[in-house]
Structure 1
């Protein structure tokens, strides 16, 4: 359904951030963010968890002051964050999100009455109120909300208490309200959470048709690829400032890859230059200590005049080395898939007619050899996670058989993390390596957990950091078979791109269960098992 916002109102839609800095407890969260977005722009904000994506949305919404910089907004703003407003019923939530529409309608009624009563200047007031209502297309707002409620499979009974709805239902109701309210500026934080395939299609269509400004935080790479015209990347860069890439999500991926290559090359040049200068400094000091003395037969004057030159050479090299010290920060370590083994045999893992009462109804047949690929698909509740648990040996089938080669190691990434107590991330990982009985890479070598998080208790890690640690733990045993249940959940788009490339080339057998539309597109050539 196309948007019906008026052209005049659309032209006013505008957001701008200039040199924005925000810190929490002395820790920088946003550092020098610049962004300009006008009508028709759809801006995706990407980065690892904790990089400030939600903070940026709060700043644009006017909910969070900045420490430094300028923020400008033009046009009413609709915000879909992770908190549902505290209201009682579905109707209350609709009325709250349509506050601007209701106010415009009320002002128009008041102005019409004033015009009828013949009050002075009533004509100008009526014209202004009418223009505002037309800009909002206020008369059609409720119908637009109803269309989106139906498309998102959200509760449409206005008397329904919100407290009786699931978290997903509440978020879908609020998202439908925002899509129908006609705000010229939409700020959306993870709007694809709790949406099914038809809901995702509706959201994509509405955002692509929105003639105002959209600023979007999402891990859903398919939505980013389908919607974004510009990408703001908050991940580390060579100069510490966020990057803004045009050309949509594909342009961002290409620009990020090229910039990372330049950063790595520049840092390598700096390291080589530092080593050269250090060698020159060492040589100059040696000459100053041992070799500045002239050959026998030369006088004391000659020796005295040579010494200051050698001292100056040492000082020059010291200054050059100091100036080079912090010129280019080292790039963060990217994901490095360990070398997984290829089993010497062929029949790695087999399941024949496997079912689990009440959980996996469709009999499943799986035959995996070394290097095989498989994507398990199906609606929620079809038994995808159950099948992976059966293949991993964590759940016995009610019927059918499962066989594994004796020497095969299976790595199983669940959707949910295990309880870990007070262990640190590196303790958790090292324990996994020790339990596997095979040598594995150090945690730092995988590029999944940074040095700060590695020594923190796992219970204190963010959801995204914990997910990366879970993945590291699965890889620790260097498995012959990888069983990955929704592996992209809570991972940044950049890491998922790296992981997808690695999964395509590893010699291990790989089984994926996923709803990730971009991952499904990227693995389109893999065999499918539909449950």
Structure 2
């Protein structure tokens, strides 16, 4: 793409942005500046406002306080498809290329005006030409076709969107955005539903984008390959978001140091408060003991000391009251429950299993305690189908699946099911398990734990799903794209826990960083 002045002028900024929903702060004092060539990653635990901030930057949601500025046309890939089921792939292409179509129309109109010698036609034609060149408008449809092919998306423009899967629709939309030439790209979880080839294409296109990119992603490999800076929306010691330079590596190191300082400062303030409380308790004990005279002598001396002891108690009470632990406690870390092992036994076995139209090649799997397996393959190869068969949720067309007596198998699907009525996360969790408390796992904060499941963010729902699977203390864990919708910090903690649990673990994933982190695990390629 030719980098012309309008693209070089692309700019997005947020200054002191605050936003609350229902009285609960979601964004608190967010600062962000991105110019052409900047690729800013928004990270943070689920529910911290990453998607909300993208909507604010796009102009779809007004902030309660603060300033937001944008220069240049904006392309947005959020988690909702803007057209209904009856619309076609071509309709979606036309919608996302609307700016390109308009630019070419204005150029045609300006060209006719120039040919007719109308007043000011020269300036109008120059402006229209600059706009079309900035979008590289003549090549937009070809770029869309290239991205459709690279992302494995449906290219038939007459195909109704209602006949496509959720993943297929998102791939079509992403291909359109990558081809449209928008100077500003705002992307929400763009790697969802992409296989290895699609991920490589997305990475290449984002690195080559001459304008501004602001993205939310759980894909640590994409962030490491693309991000030039990171805005961390997680809580901090002073409650304000942090901005880290140096790309994703700079964020990881900076966050680690920030967390260590936070924990040390909080521990120091808590220890000081405990010291003051101990001093008050000791002063009260001295007052009590000295006010009670020993039998037979010294009553006057001890009585005259009593007012001084009373003043000491009052002073220590005032010191304790004045000492406030100003630094909030750091967020809880994920804690994997102790999962059971059954040494010497084959826990789960599949022999020659296939499923018509979904898992073509016969697959054999045998799992014992402590076994590890990564299932790989392109979209449609049957990874999710295999995990469903192993879990007993789907009958194989051929072959057989057997499990040892009393073996518990836990499966985490790719997406959450429908919410269970009006029940809260704590009610859903407490009604199913007698394992560790929900707060012990460190997956949901108190606020989300007591909200109706239907009101939780996609990421918080995913955390609840994981909590329910783990709380049943399975002997075998089957995890289908476990990094979907989870924060990078949680994924790091989960990955470390999976490496050490005595349970058998099977992971199906496209996540490149998770694949790197599990490089020593056996592979099953479908």
Specify if TM > 0.5.
yes
Bigger Cα displacement from structure 2, 421-430 vs 264-273: 421-430
1:112 & 1:126 partners in 2: Cα distance? 6
1:380 & 1:391 partners in 2: Cα distance? 19
Q: Does 1:529 align with 2:524?
A: yes
- What are the within-5 Å matches in structure 2 for residues 260-299 of structure 1? 260-288=259-287, 291=290, 296=298
- Cα distance change of structure 1 residues 296 and 462 upon mapping to structure 2, 3 Å threshold: same
| Match of residue 24, structure 2, among 16, 27, 42 | 27
Q: Does 1:504 align with 2:503?
A: no
- What are the within-5 Å matches in structure 2 for residues 56-71 of structure 1? 56-71=53-68
- What are the within-5 Å matches in structure 2 for residues 311-350 of structure 1? 313-350=312-349
2:398 & 2:127 partners in 1: Cα distance? 72
Q: Does 1:76 align with 2:73?
A: yes
- Cα distance change of structure 1 residues 414 and 156 upon mapping to structure 2, 3 Å threshold: closer
Question: Residue in 2 aligned with 1:191?
Answer: 190
2:384 & 2:158 partners in 1: Cα distance? 36
Question: Residue in 1 aligned with 2:515?
Answer: 520
- What are the within-5 Å matches in structure 2 for residues 38-437 of structure 1? 38-86=35-83, 88-158=87-157, 162=161, 165-288=164-287, 291=290, 296=298, 303=304, 307=307, 310=309, 313-356=312-355, 359-395=358-394, 397=396, 399-406=398-405, 408-415=407-414, 417=416, 420=420, 423-434=423-434
Question: Residue in 2 aligned with 1:437?
Answer: none
- Cα distance change of structure 1 residues 297 and 432 upon mapping to structure 2, 3 Å threshold: closer
Q: Tell me by how many angstroms 1:459 deviates.
A: 4.6
Question: Residue in 1 aligned with 2:490?
Answer: 495
- Cα distance change of structure 1 residues 129 and 430 upon mapping to structure 2, 3 Å threshold: closer
Whether the 8 Å CA contact 2:356–2:397 is kept in 1: the answer is yes
Q: SS of the counterpart of 1:433?
A: coil
Q: Tell me by how many angstroms 1:77 deviates.
A: 1.5
Q: Tell me by how many angstroms 1:32 deviates.
A: 0.5
Bigger Cα displacement from structure 2, 408-417 vs 461-470: 408-417
Question: Residue in 2 aligned with 1:18?
Answer: 15
Q: SS of the counterpart of 1:261?
A: helix
1:459 & 1:83 partners in 2: Cα distance? 17
Deviation by residue 1:288-328 (Cα, 9 ceiling, x = unmatched):
5554799948689x938x73x55554454334333432411
1:98 & 1:116 partners in 2: Cα distance? 27
Question: Residue in 1 aligned with 2:476?
Answer: 481
1:86 & 1:392 partners in 2: Cα distance? 35
Unpaired runs of at least 5, structure 1: 435-439
- Cα distance change of structure 1 residues 471 and 290 upon mapping to structure 2, 3 Å threshold: same
Question: Residue in 1 aligned with 2:465?
Answer: 470
- Cα distance change of structure 1 residues 5 and 316 upon mapping to structure 2, 3 Å threshold: farther
Alignment RMSD (CA, Å): 3.1
Deviation by residue 1:35-69 (Cα, 9 ceiling, x = unmatched):
11112111111223322111111111122221111
1:265 & 1:449 partners in 2: Cα distance? 24
Q: Tell me by how many angstroms 1:363 deviates.
A: 2.6
Deviation by residue 1:233-271 (Cα, 9 ceiling, x = unmatched):
212222211122222223323322332232222222222
- Cα distance change of structure 1 residues 179 and 30 upon mapping to structure 2, 3 Å threshold: same
Bigger Cα displacement from structure 2, 249-258 vs 84-93: 84-93
- Cα distance change of structure 1 residues 277 and 203 upon mapping to structure 2, 3 Å threshold: same
Q: SS of the counterpart of 1:495?
A: helix
2:354 & 2:165 partners in 1: Cα distance? 29
Bigger Cα displacement from structure 2, 81-90 vs 511-520: 81-90
Unpaired runs of at least 5, structure 2: none
Q: SS of the counterpart of 2:275?
A: helix
Q: Does 1:5 align with 2:3?
A: yes
- Cα distance change of structure 1 residues 387 and 65 upon mapping to structure 2, 3 Å threshold: closer
Bigger Cα displacement from structure 2, 23-32 vs 313-322: 313-322
Q: Tell me by how many angstroms 1:525 deviates.
A: 1.3
Bigger Cα displacement from structure 2, 517-526 vs 399-408: 399-408
Q: Does 1:446 align with 2:430?
A: no
TM-score (norm: length of structure 1): 0.87
